Amino acid sequence: MDLASTNRSATREAVAFLGGWSLLFLLCVIAYWPGLKGPFMLDDIEAIGALGSFGGVTDWSTFRAFVFGGTAGPTGRPLALLSFLIDANNWPADPWPFKRTNLVIHLFNGALLGMLATRILQLLEFEKQAARRIALVSVACWLLHPFLVSTTLYAVQRMAQLSTLFIFAGLAGFLYGRSLIQANAIKAYLVMSVSIGLGTLLAMLSKENGILLPILVGVIEITVISSQRHRLVALNRYWSFVFIVLPALIIATYLGARVFRSDFFDVVPPRDFSMYERVLTQPRILVDYLRHWFIPELYTTGVFQDHFIKSTGLLSPLTTALSALFHIAAISLAVINRRKWPLLAFAVLFFYASHALESSVLNLELYFEHRNYLAAAFLFLPLVAALRARVSRQLFLAIAIGVSLLLAGFTRYSATVWESFPGIVEASARKAPTSARAQAQYAIQLFNAEQPEEALRVIDRAIENIADDHPLLLLNRLVILCNMNLLTAEEFERNAEVLSGQVYDVRSIRLFSTVIAAVEQQRCPGITTKALRPMFAGMLQVPQNADPMSKSYSHIKYFIGLVDSHMGEPARAVSAFEASLRAEPGTEEAMRMAADLASAGHLEEALYFSDLALDQFSADSGKILKQTRITEKDIRAFQAAVRADLEQPPGADTSRPAP
């Protein structure tokens, strides 16, 4: 072949390469496009809604409060919060730009993953063009997979996306640096050190699982690199210890120490499972993740993931032990054959290493799809490579196009469900009959759509399907019955007795407040405010609720104070509110109590709690990680209004809504 022919061939290959990636990105955008019109939901409101807490992010003070005031994890995830300012600086905001940016990050991650996959294949001595094709098809499966829809279209999951982005970038930097070892060792180790150090830091500031980057580097070393010892030099053992082994030991020690905690076998609110039960359940969940990945579905349960029934023993259910044996076998085979089948071993160990934090002993929810955004990145790579080696180029291309279009179609369908929150709720409720959250949300949706009878049927069916007396369902049932004028004193007392004996879930504060408001506003004939007090007093008899410095205790004491306030017992209300504040001090908490007292006509007591709010505000001033949505100006304005009410003649209406 002459030089001209070689150049033409190279040009055609370059055009095909760029064309393939362009078509993939276009297909991904088309698949996701309907979902970009979808709303904010659930955790979005808390994390992104803080944009409007201080009248918008307009100066250094409000910038600092938003970016460094996150509560999503130990780091606060400031880099992820900073990225939200790309899309808006106030609230309420249009969700479209947030979802658009998420999709852009998803595409960028796909490009980085393509670079990584190509480099790994070339390290395993795949021919350049073959490596590029295999990488493109593998990334297409990842980019277009419907199991990642909830990560990309759920705005707040940008945290997971950005963490993955910096992990991919760190791995790419490490592999580049490693390629320089023989030519320039000093530069090589400098590039690798910066890549791992900076990549880990940036990933952690987006989401805490970024700390796994050094372990993932280790996975590459013991699989891909280890299989090429005949031509690739080993890393300096001292450098390896500092940048790979030591971080892995620190993480392993931290996770291992949690097994020996005194509360390992205890159910710690707000979870309804112990760490022991969580560890037992994760093998089944990992199998379910893999099932969804290799056998995609049109739509999953989306953001409602409390449907998964926990394991209570190795044989309860039997699939617990079987799943554990499966994972042990998979990891063992990957480690034993890591030099014989390096690509398969790499994909398997990368999956499990990526789940080391979120699918182990941390007190997190049992199940979330976004945990696979990073973990599943290379799962299709060995399969695509094996297919390419066994079929003709034409058949490989046909299969690749067919699978890509199929996955894109599944994702497009899921994205259309994500166009509206009602659509998401209804689809999730039908998909997960054992999800209390999905069923409760669906019932609320039906009730708001003036279908109370159907809403009640949904709640009653959910209570039958879910074995435990779930407080979320019981509380929503009480509210629905109350508003339908069907709640009897006997029905209320029966449910109140069940609720008072349960471990309190701090996420239920709004629901309990709704019940109190419904009774106080006399929307529940036959149920008096006084009847509520024994339910909350009974909750304090549950040991897990009785710690006087816990958030659960704080909430329950707040409910008692709220009831006492409405009952015309300001002294008892003040005592309960003070106990609540001691357990959970805060400017917003104190002002909420002040507003409750003012709305009930207890103005002197309201001023007392607004003074406590001022004291707390002064104590929190200047603390970067202790920000409040209430300003001193707000508190002073509230006090002025209350004092004006105090000066009104006797008999005047001095009730005041919350500020």
Radius of gyration of the chain from its Cα atoms, rounded to whole angstroms? 28
State the residue for tokens 């039958």: 464
Q: Do 157 and 150 touch, CB atoms closer than 8 A?
A: yes
Structural domain containing residue 296: 17-417
Peptide bond into 317 cis (omega under 30): yes
The residue with greater pLDDT, 449 or 380, is 380
Peptide bond into 270 cis (omega under 30): yes
Give mean pLDDT, residues 151-167. 96
pLDDT at 56 over 50: yes
Return d(Cα 396, Cα 384) in angstroms, integer: 9
> Quick check: is 575 in a domain?
no
> Quick check: is 267 in a domain?
yes
pLDDT at 108 over 60: yes
**pLDDT band with cut points at 50, 70 and 90 for residue 414:** very high
Give mean pLDDT, residues 195-206. 97
pLDDT at 525 over 80: no
Each residue's pLDDT tens digit, 583-620: 988 888 899 999 999 988 999 999 999 999 888 888 77
Q: What is the dihedral of CA 393, 395, 400, 405, to 10 degrees?
A: 140
> Quick check: is 474 in a domain?
no
Task: Give residues with Cβ within 8 angstroms of 187, minimum separation 6.
Answer: 177, 180
Please tell me what DSSP assigns to residue 73.
Answer: S
Q: Choose among 152, 207, 219: nearest CA to 369.
A: 152
* pLDDT at residue 5, as a whole number: 65
Domain count, the chain: 1
Give mean pLDDT, residues 237-245. 96
Please tell me what DSSP assigns to residue 274.
Answer: B
Give mean pLDDT, residues 474-493. 85
> Quick check: is 462 in a domain?
no
Q: Would you state the structure tokens that stand for residue 186, as one six-digit string? A: 């000093």
* pLDDT at residue 246, as a whole number: 97
Give mean pLDDT, residues 93-98. 94
pLDDT averaged over the chain?
Answer: 90
* pLDDT at residue 468, as a whole number: 67
Each residue's pLDDT tens digit, 16-54: 889 999 999 999 999 999 999 999 988 888 889 888 877
Give mean pLDDT, residues 227-251. 94
pLDDT at 55 over 50: yes
Return d(Cα 124, Cα 340) in angstroms, integer: 11
* pLDDT at residue 372, as a whole number: 96
Q: Do 446 and 64 touch, CB atoms closer than 8 A?
A: no
Phi and psi at residue 313, in whole multiples of 5°?
Answer: -170, 170
> Quick check: is 365 in a domain?
yes
**pLDDT band with cut points at 50, 70 and 90 for residue 659:** very low
* pLDDT at residue 368, as a whole number: 92
> Quick check: is 10 in a domain?
no
Three-class DSSP category at 58: coil
> Quick check: is 507 in a domain?
no
Task: Give residues with Cβ within 8 angstroms of 350, minimum separation 6.
Answer: 216, 219, 375, 377, 378
Each residue's pLDDT tens digit, 257-285: 999 998 899 887 778 889 999 999 999 99
- Report pTM: 0.88
* pLDDT at residue 622, as a whole number: 57
pLDDT at 656 over 70: no
% of the chain residues with pLDDT over 70:
95
CA distances from 420 to 40, 320, 436 (A): 9, 36, 20
Give mean pLDDT, residues 528-556. 89
% of the chain residues with pLDDT over 90:
59
Highest mean pLDDT among 314-323, 583-592, 644-653: 314-323
The residue with greater pLDDT, 108 or 441, is 108
Q: What is 446-466 written as a DSSP string?
A: HHHTT-HHHHHHHHHHHHHHS
Look up residue 29 and give its amino acid. Answer: V
pLDDT at 653 over 80: no
> Quick check: is 403 in a domain?
yes
Return d(Cα 565, Cα 114) in angstroms, integer: 62
Q: Do 539 and 545 touch, CB atoms closer than 8 A?
A: yes
